[in-house]
Amino acid sequence: MEALAPVFSVASTIFQFLLVITVIVAVHELGHYLAARMSGMHVEAFAVMMGGVRRTDLSEHEPKGLISARVIWIIAGLGLLTMIVGTVAKNALVFEAGLVASGVWVPLMASLRLERLYHLPGGTAFRRIMITLAVLVAMLFMGTQFRNLDAGTWIGLIAGGMVIAMLVMYYSPLMGGNHANEEERQGEGKITVNGETVPVRFRPLWWVTDKNGTEFSLLLLPLGGFARIRGMQSFEDGRETKIEGGFYTKHPILRLFTLFAGPLFSVLFGIIVLTGVWAANGRQDVSEKPVVGSLSVGGAADKAGIKIGDRITSIDGTAITSFDGIRPVIDAGGEKPRQVTVEREGKALTFTLTPQIQEGMPKLDQEGNPILGERETRLIIGVGPDFETKTMSVGEAWNEAWNQPVVLVKGLATLVSRPQAAKDTMGGPVSVAQATQGATSMGAYGILTLMGMLSLSLGIMNLLPIPPLDGGQMVINFIELIRGGKRLSMNLQQLVTNMGVVLMILLMVSATTIDLGRVTGNSADAKLPEFKTENDPAPTQP
């Protein structure tokens, strides 16, 4: 069973990551739902997760020679089994063969099957696959310049692109429809078979409708959720202002309240979760004690024989009483060898080491805090501080949790005023996945802390004045409030929304590109030392 530990670890990380995302998005959408109901708006649907399952039977329209779905499932199972065998045998080639089967070959077969099942033009599947892969490869190039990439990275990239393309093919009937039709029901699409239109409906895994006509449902893909409020679709003739129970039939103040409720719920949920976690378990903070909490792999301290848990008591005879006191002593002595004395299990041990020159280190201010976006060359010995648990009362935890949104807002302000800080502060899906992996190793404390911080981030990011985010829609509605409720022109709304969508795509691409550069060690800045630690990764070290 120990050989399967890596497989279980990855599976557990993915599951917990998806669970965290699903919960925080559901809470966010719950805010919109409750505010809409309080404002007299009709909520047509409240869904947890995204997508749906095709409920329409298309067997009577199946063309001859269609790839069997059963065969595809069998190959997928064999591929997964091969991956497990490769993990048990510690054979990378066998593992990658299974990954190719289940992550590349299966999505390709499924996409080709869906192309024929939906009677799409020949080559549609290949075009969508190539477009998806081209975008991912371009992002990989921008982040890494194709340096330090192994076969596993390429196979993983291709597998991810193939799965995305397969999902796009699966939901093809929902694309290209008349989405301007307000009466069109959620999940309804169509295909064309021999010149005739065949309706295709996608439904949730589970659903129930309450007495008010709101459908509560559980969908297929754990990637978020939504609350669908009636009448949020704008029309050139302005008929959205006459839809009974519609969003635009209400006063702009009620619309602003409904839009703001989502981010508000996200922030409040994050604060409540962090308060509970810190009050019950304390908060893990960087220790001020000169105790080695982590070591740079192959660094000066590591080579000299210093170990995690050692307490540094002096350097060249100068007493060290705090971890921050290490850096000034190292800087003052230059590159010459040092005598570092540590306390280990009650015994004093002295090691000789020579500090290393490290380029691309975050520049520090006079108090030793990193200055975002600025780098410098420093002498380092390759040690990181330890962590300690700070016990908090409920009141202290509450005050500290309320301070976190302020910290996040200041970080956003820094990013806007100093874009060069993006490489230090921005993070995409890879960063979130890495944070989740680190959180899972800390148990419930780590997962709940991550959930609270991500919920805060979701709420604050959604307040940015960029359509289609809540903040962007709030700006439009605020302008209409100033105009006495008069709607902005459809062309202006569409222009602003399109610009916002493009900007959001650029931000997502930029964050993912920076992620790829970090994870492969191809960042534009010098690669920082790799640390080994018993628990948590250490911050910038002396």
| Mean pLDDT of the 447-469 span | 90
Q: What is the pLDDT of residues 104-116, one digit of tens each?
A: 999 999 999 999 9
- Give the distance, in angstroms, between the CA of residue 194 and the centroid of all CA atoms in the same chain: 43
Helix (H, G, I), strand (E, B) or coil at 27: helix
| Mean pLDDT of the 480-505 span | 80
Helix (H, G, I), strand (E, B) or coil at 541: coil
Under the banding of pLDDT at 50, 70 and 90, the label for residue 505 is confident
At residue 210, the pLDDT reads 92
At residue 458, the pLDDT reads 92
Mean pLDDT lowest for which of 191-195, 220-224, 291-295, 357-361?
357-361
At residue 373, the pLDDT reads 56
| Mean pLDDT of the 312-325 span | 90
Domain spans, the chain: 53-203, 285-390
Contact between 79 and 99 under an 8 Å Cβ cutoff? The reply is: yes
Secondary-structure percent of the chain, ordered helix, strand, coil, rounded to 5: 55, 20, 30
* Top-ranked range on mean pLDDT: pick from 310-314, 380-384, 537-541: 310-314
| Mean pLDDT of the 298-313 span | 89
CA distances from 207 to 204, 218, 526 (A): 6, 6, 52
| Angle formed by the axes of helices 151-170 and 106-117, nearest 10° | 20
* Token pair for 448: 């709940």
| Mean pLDDT of the 27-45 span | 96
What type of residue sits at position 323?
A: F
At residue 29, the pLDDT reads 96
Mean pLDDT lowest for which of 39-43, 45-49, 128-132, 379-383?
379-383
At residue 538, the pLDDT reads 40
Phi, psi of 78 (to 5 degrees): -65, -40
Q: What is the pLDDT of residues 236-295, one digit of tens each?
A: 777 888 899 999 999 989 999 999 999 999 999 999 999 999 999 888 888 888 999 888
The alpha-helical segments, DSSP class H, found in 240-370 are 252-281, 300-304, 326-333
Which strands, in side-by-side order, build the sheet including 292-296?
383-385, 292-296, 531-533
Under the banding of pLDDT at 50, 70 and 90, the label for residue 486 is confident
Q: What is the pLDDT of residues 429-446, one digit of tens each?
A: 666 666 776 777 777 888
Phi, psi of 236 (to 5 degrees): -65, -35
The alpha-helical segments, DSSP class H, found in 462-489 are 470-482
Residues 6 or more apart in contact with residue 519 via CB below 8 angstroms: 430, 434
What type of residue sits at position 541?
A: Q
pLDDT greater than 80 at residue 506: no
What type of residue sits at position 214?
A: T
Place of tokens 């699966």: 170
Contact between 323 and 294 under an 8 Å Cβ cutoff? The reply is: no
At residue 269, the pLDDT reads 97
| Mean pLDDT of the 511-533 span | 55
At residue 456, the pLDDT reads 94
Residues 6 or more apart in contact with residue 159 via CB below 8 angstroms: 99, 100, 102, 103, 104, 107
Helix (H, G, I), strand (E, B) or coil at 210: coil
Please give the Cα distance from 325 to 96 (Å, whole number): 48
Please give the Cα distance from 542 to 538 (Å, whole number): 11
Under the banding of pLDDT at 50, 70 and 90, the label for residue 412 is confident
At residue 164, the pLDDT reads 92
CA angle 208, 209, 210 (to 5 degrees): 120
At residue 180, the pLDDT reads 44
Record: fold of 285-390:
Pdz3 Domain (2.30.42)
| Mean pLDDT of the 167-193 span | 75
Please give the Cα distance from 234 to 248 (Å, whole number): 9
Q: Which residue has the higher pLDDT, 263 or 501?
A: 263
pLDDT greater than 80 at residue 326: yes
Please give the Cα distance from 342 to 288 (Å, whole number): 16
| Mean pLDDT of the 319-328 span | 89
* Token pair for 79: 């591929």
Which strands, in side-by-side order, build the sheet including 188-193?
53-54, 196-203, 188-193
User: What's the distance, Cα to Cα, between the start and end of the chain in Å?
Assistant: 40
At residue 1, the pLDDT reads 41
Phi, psi of 382 (to 5 degrees): 80, 45
At residue 8, the pLDDT reads 58
As a three-state string, the secondary structure of 63-74 is CCCCCCHHHHHH
Please give the Cα distance from 405 to 394 (Å, whole number): 18
pLDDT greater than 70 at residue 515: no
Under the banding of pLDDT at 50, 70 and 90, the label for residue 502 is confident
* Token pair for 311: 């307490």
Q: What is the mean pLDDT of the chain?
A: 83
Residues 6 or more apart in contact with residue 400 via CB below 8 angstroms: 274, 278, 283, 392
At residue 311, the pLDDT reads 93
Phi, psi of 497 (to 5 degrees): -65, -45
| Mean pLDDT of the 315-339 span | 87
Please give the Cα distance from 402 to 267 (Å, whole number): 9
The alpha-helical segments, DSSP class H, found in 39-172 are 69-88, 92-100, 106-117, 124-144, 151-170
Mean pLDDT lowest for which of 176-180, 210-214, 484-488?
176-180
Alpha-carbon Rg for the chain in angstroms: 27
Helix (H, G, I), strand (E, B) or coil at 457: helix
